[in-house]
């Protein structure tokens, strides 16, 4: 399924998101900066993409780590998963956090994260005095693992 999503370049050198393969779920987001930036271990740097989007109503853009960047450089979004709402029209930025023990450098036009555009439901939360019983009940963390 394909959907048109309007993208506005805020800077001439910005790169419109691309998909690495025909069946990729996430589109690559690119760093839009004039010079390389080095992120020290344990630090976070807000990386500009130079783009804004018009995500359709009923959809959200979820920003995830790129597996190669995370595994090779230790860089991943600081908020784990970023959420871009359909009514947001500002620049998409990615707070990259260095989880490694060595400094890591981001180069201009480097792929820094991936965005999955996905539909979502808006819930009508209804307060009730009791909930329907299930076999699991209140068993929490780790309760469904093997014995």
φ, ψ (nearest 5 deg) of residue 21: -140, 170
What pLDDT, on a 0 to 100 scale, did the predictor assign at position 20? 95
What pLDDT, on a 0 to 100 scale, did the predictor assign at position 141? 77
pTM (two decimals): 0.89
Q: Where are the beta strands (DSSP E) in 10-77?
A: 18-19, 27-30, 37-39, 44-48, 51-54, 59-64, 75-77
Domains of the chain: 6-119 (2.70.40.10)
φ, ψ (nearest 5 deg) of residue 51: -130, 155
Residues in the chain with pLDDT values less than 70 = 143-147
């Amino acid at each position: 399924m394909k959907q048109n999503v309007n993208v506005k370049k805020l800077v001439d050198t910005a790169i419109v998101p691309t998909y690495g393969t025909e069946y990729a779920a996430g589109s690559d987001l690119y760093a839009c900066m004039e010079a390389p930036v080095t992120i020290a271990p344990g630090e976070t740097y807000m990386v500009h993409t130079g783009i804004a989007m018009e995500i359709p109503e009923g959809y959200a853009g979820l920003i995830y780590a790129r597996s190669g960047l995370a595994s090779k450089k230790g860089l991943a979004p600081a908020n784990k998963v970023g959420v871009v709402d359909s009514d947001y029209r500002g620049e998409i930025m990615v707070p990259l956090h260095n989880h490694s023990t060595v400094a890591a450098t981001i180069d201009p036009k480097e792929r820094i994260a991936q965005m999955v555009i996905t539909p979502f439901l808006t819930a009508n939360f209804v307060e009730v005095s009791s909930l329907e019983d299930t076999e699991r009940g209140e068993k929490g963390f780790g309760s469904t693992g093997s014995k």
